[in-house]
Amino acid sequence: MRIAIVGAGAIGGVLGGRLAARGHQVALVARGDHLAAIRRDGLKLVDHVGEASGSYRLAASDEPADLGTQDLVIIALKAHAIGGMLPRIAPLLRDDTVVVPAINGLPWWYFYREPGPHEGRRLLTLDPAGTMFADLDCRHVLGCVVHFAAEVRAPGEVHHTGGRRIILGEPDGAASERLRRTCALLDEAGLEAQPSQRIRLDVWVKLLGNMSFNPVAALTGYLMNQICADEAVLDVIRPMMREGMAVSAHFGYPMPMTPDQRIDLARQLGGAKISMLQDIEQRRPLELAPVVGSVIELAELAGLPVPTIRMVHALARARARSLGIA
């Protein structure tokens, strides 16, 4: 297959390397020193959880139009970069191209084909300019939730550090042929691809961890196992999760687990350095809007109090401002 990875950083680099190892024609969209290293030496994947380690010579550009049309486009960008990129990926798309946004936080397409009073609603935290639905027809989109960890440890060098699971689902819940094919493709690449008929519930399960663990990691400098071992910190995580669960239940997705069961899921990542801590260390903007701000916006829409989420959000924003990365 012809597959473009738009945003060949940590998650995108793992997906690109693994798919290239299976013989697919993978092209990468990257930038800066990372792009220069990939062009010079190939994409180096160091696989700590499987057998896909290697260097892969792949087409790479900072301009999607250079790569031609694709069968599959995986968007693995930071949230603040997605809005500006969507109109630029048009040259990659045919009528039947599948687009998989492998991104953190609540996705901009969340209310696309979501039955009920909010169908088609745009959230300001996700799409402040109001352009994203127009810039990419959501009929291309397969929802995606990533449950593995990765890091870019040097330009051109990506480490797959933990986990294999990735969940895919149609926004309308259909058990489609393209969903089956895409899951099979990722299974063959050494991941554990799971089809879902309730992809928004899967988004919420992941989001409850992201909205709590990520800003706490940014504030404390803790790895995942250190957060999970510190009971005083978990006493902050738990009320954040309870507040988030109330919001998800209001919008039709009650959580099938307790906060402590969700914490146990996070323990499976071991000593992973989660994304906001990586961003703090690399002095990159934090994905606070889609990961935490979106939950606050939905809580306001629902009329629900989320005081702990607001407090941690305010502290993480202040930390980012102090570092000049707000």
Residues identified as active-site: 206
Alpha-carbon gap, residue 146 to 30, rounded angstroms: 20
How far apart, in Å, are the Cα atoms of 73 and each of 69, 84, 99, 105, 315? Answer: 9, 16, 5, 19, 36
**CA 302 – CA 250 distance, rounded (Å):** 7
Tally of CB atoms within 10 A around 238: 17
The structure tokens 């071992």 sit at 229
Task: At 229, list the tokens.
Answer: 């071992």
Q: What angle do CA 164, 185, 94 make, to 5 degrees?
A: 125
CB-CB contact of 170 with 55 (8 Å): no
Euclidean distance between the first and the last CA atom of the chain, given in angstroms as a whole number: 39
Alpha-carbon gap, residue 95 to 93, rounded angstroms: 7
All residues at 6 or more sequence positions from 85 whose CB lies less than 8 Å from its CB, including other chains: 6, 7, 64, 75, 77
